Chain A
């Protein structure tokens, strides 16, 4: 009998431990994600499985790309070191679950901001780091010059779990064209299938088409059609429920864009501390107490600019110089004819 009592107590103790976890609620004021990140010593960032220009790993496992730079900016702001990021490559299908289940803290994976994703799934989009639109790629030899030349029975290769699947249906349906969607989970599989002639056309975001074209066996034999069939504002996403963390990620991205607007870059950031312009001084932490609102020190934005660079530097390094999309198009600053416009940091 004594033995039984002992077993019982250990059982009760076990339950006490289990329930302790579930009753733990999120702290309202402080950012739990920030606390955990500091404790852990690195930012957990979800990226793509390899999209040149956005998030791509080289042979030695170094990640580069404009999506990667958003996570690096957050690491520079919160931990003081842009290299303290752990990247988790995710398929389109896995990405939201990885974020909502707490496996990663930032999803920076060329993800389109839509109403249902923002409102339904327990996610919050913090901004836009690339304005994109869906397009089609075809073989040059096909003679197709415009999407209006697609005929009934066209087979279309694309990725699973993307807004692409929905746009493509809207596109073909509204034109009354029957088509065969061939949907793969991984981008590399889509490229391989399209390359082998399984599909007549490959559709995804235009930046994606430009990047994936470089992976084809003969990139020059393929052409991206001029039409854009959708709006695809791509940006970083965080979990709902930690508004301080959300603000940190949002303003890390905004800092990069605003730095470009004011001509502050990684090489002149330190000198800008003595600038006459108060907006620039705030941007490099020489004036105001902007970091305090997030529970960060006052050099958080200076570190972002010094370690990662401004948006223009990031774009040039990752997308323009790699030959993916040398023309910035809508992703130019609003002052230069683009639509990049962020709220002021003050």
Chain B
């Protein structure tokens, strides 16, 4: 009996302690808020927000609710995180592999890149891209067309927008192409395992991916037109592009800074992963007659990925959380729109900050869950 008490009592006390602390904090906050005449509640979420947001993925205006303003901010945070994660992965893999190159110039440039970008505080890099680099861009009327139809200006990057007809038919065709590729791959794997025959899967897949959507144009009534940005005069000296899509410079600066910064960490993860696979594996694979390509694809990468994934997950999580620095350069992310403007207009600090914290927690846990699932999938399966 005595032993059981000794074993569990400290743990029970610890739990009790945590619960009491939270209870105390809640009661204390409640008392203080009562004293100061602040009421607690989430009713404000359905009220009209009455402020506008610069850039939004969904329809939004000042007559929408605070809940919708929250959604606008959330989507903007997800957008910038998603684009930056993709860019930093691509860049990180390239730099990471380059660091292992036998070419002196490539190897050292990659090393310099990593040491340079990861050792400057991220906020400074964001300021650099926004205030120094992007500000050097021309005004809209002086911009030269890039690729003939896009314009990079101090007010944003203007690109043509696509006007679709029967977009759903096109999307179904794309979906059909992807499903048939999966079926084809399974069939090919089966064929290889049972009969030892190989078919050029990649070639067939590409063909499917091109031909099926193309058919939708020919027979599905799908059509696509481009709306080009047109220069418009606002006053004697100020111009803007109308039509097309405008990517605000704030978004571009943020994506640049986040992906360049995070790619250095991803690059180190990739390098560690590849170097973590012992040399013997490569030599053994070569000695059974695999081509260098097959060695990389079938032997090195599957083993390297196991080492790369967990630390890279951390970097993705960091990137998403770092995206909250957006507020410094007026990119309307969750922190700026919701924990900034909405908080100021309603004064509901405790409610809004807790919602924002919970949201970031949810985003991070979701990314972690996806990466853990992928990690599970590729880890060594002992038979």
Contact = CB atoms under 8 A, between A and B. Distances in A.
A142 B237 contact: yes
Given A161-B341, A166-B345, A197-B154, A141 B237 contact: yes
Interface in A180-197: 180-185, 189, 192-193, 196-197
Interface of B: 2, 9, 13, 17, 20, 24, 27-28, 31, 33, 35-38, 50-54, 61-62, 131, 135, 139, 154-155, 232, 234-238, 240, 242, 248-250, 327-330, 332, 336, 340-341, 343-347, 349
Nearest to A172: B52
A240 B37 contact: yes
A18 B154 contact: no
A149 B36 contact: no
A11 B345 CA distance: 42
A161 B9 CA distance: 49
Contacts of B341: 160-161, 165, 183
Contact of B31 (A22, A97, A150): A22
Given A4-B9, A241-B37, A142 B236 contact: yes
Interface size class of A (residues with CB under 8 A): 35 or more
Contacts of B327: 160, 185
Q: Ordered nearest first, which 4 A-B pairs have the shortest CB separation?
A: A161-B344, A121-B347, A122-B36, A143-B236
A11 B344 contact: no
Nearest to B246: A180
B332 A183 contact: yes
Contacts, number: 144
B37 A122 contact: yes
A160 B340 contact: yes
B330 A153 contact: no
Nearest to B332: A183
13 contacts: A11-B13, A96-B349, A100-B36, A142-B235, A162-B344, A166-B51, A173-B61, A182-B54, A183-B330, A183-B336, A198-B155, A240-B36, A241-B35
B154 A239 contact: no
Interface string A128-171: 00000000001101111000011111110000111001101110
B38 A169 contact: no
Interface of A: 1, 4, 7-8, 11, 15, 18-19, 21-22, 25-26, 92-93, 96-97, 100, 116-117, 120-122, 138-139, 141-144, 149-155, 160-162, 165-166, 168-170, 172-173, 179-185, 189, 192-193, 196-198, 200, 239-241
A60 B131 CA distance: 28
Contacts of B28: 21-22
Given A18-B24, A240-B36, A200 B131 contact: no
B38 A122 contact: yes
B38 to A, nearest CB: 4
Contacts of A1: 2
Given A169-B62, A240-B37, A160 B344 contact: yes
Nearest to B349: A97
Given A97-B349, A122-B33, A142-B237, A155 B155 contact: yes
B347 A117 contact: yes
B119 to A, nearest CB: 25
B242 A181 contact: no
A296 B349 CA distance: 35
A66 B379 CA distance: 67
A19 B135 CA distance: 55
Nearest to A139: B237
Given A11-B13, A93-B343, A96-B344, A25 B234 contact: no
A169 B50 contact: yes
A68 B17 CA distance: 45
A120 B35 contact: no
B344 A181 contact: no
Contacts of A15: 20, 24
Contact of A161 (B13, B17, B235, B340): B340
A153 B38 contact: no
A228 to B, nearest CB: 20
A21 B340 CA distance: 31
Given A196-B154, A200-B235, A93 B242 contact: no
A193 B331 CA distance: 13
Contacts of B238: 139, 142, 200
B330 A182 contact: yes
B51 A239 contact: no
A96 B52 CA distance: 22
Contact of B344 (A92, A142, A200): A92
Contacts of A170: 50
Nearest to A154: B234
B24 A19 contact: yes
Nearest to B238: A200
A82 B340 CA distance: 34
Given A96-B347, A139-B238, A182-B250, 15 more contacts: A22-B31, A93-B344, A96-B349, A100-B36, A116-B345, A122-B36, A143-B236, A149-B235, A160-B340, A179-B52, A183-B336, A184-B330, A185-B340, A197-B139, A200-B235
B360 to A, nearest CB: 18
Nearest to A15: B20
A47 to B, nearest CB: 17
B51 to A, nearest CB: 5
A181 B36 CA distance: 34
Contacts of B27: 22
Contacts of A196: 131, 135, 154
Contacts of B235: 138, 142-144, 149, 151, 200
A152 B235 CA distance: 11
A166 B242 contact: no
Pick from B2, B54, B61, B347 the residue with the most CB of A within 10 Å: B347
